[in-house]
């Protein structure tokens, strides 16, 4: 299932971690808000989406809902800046 949403990017965070196999990997997370900051959540994104997002701006996100043995989650598959009226 695909979900479309407009969110405000509050924060971006890139962290390094060690995977189970011992390799060093990067994690990309963004803190987003909706409804005038009444709804706040953190999403994991890939590096391409992370580079697209700009802190302090609104974006239209397309997410895919996925279910696994370890739980349900959203995968951001597209991000486009919301155009503001001049």
Please state the domain extents for the chain: 2-81
The DSSP code sequence of the chain is -EEEEEEEEEEEEEEEEE-TTS-EEEEEEEEEEETTTTEEEEEE--HHHHHH--TTSEEEEEEEEEEETTEEEEEEEEEEEPPPP-
* Region 45-66 average pLDDT: 96
Fill in the DSSP letter of residue 50.
H
pLDDT in tens, 65-84: 999 999 998 899 999 999 87
The count of other CB atoms within 10 Å of the CB of residue 16 is 8
Check whether domain 2-81 has CATH 3.40.190.10, yes or no? no
pLDDT at 83: 86
pLDDT band for 5, please (50, 70, 90 cuts).
very high
pLDDT at 3: 93
């Amino acid at each position: 299932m695909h979900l479309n949403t407009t969110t405000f990017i509050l924060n971006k965070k890139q962290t390094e971690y060690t995977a189970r196999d011992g390799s060093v990997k990067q994690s990309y997370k963004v803190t987003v808000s909706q409804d005038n900051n009444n709804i706040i959540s953190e999403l994991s994104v890939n590096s391409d989406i992370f580079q697209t997002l700009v802190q302090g701006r609104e974006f239209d996100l397309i997410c895919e809902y996925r279910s696994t043995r370890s739980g349900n989650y959203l995968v951001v598959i597209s991000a486009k800046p919301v155009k503001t009226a001049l």
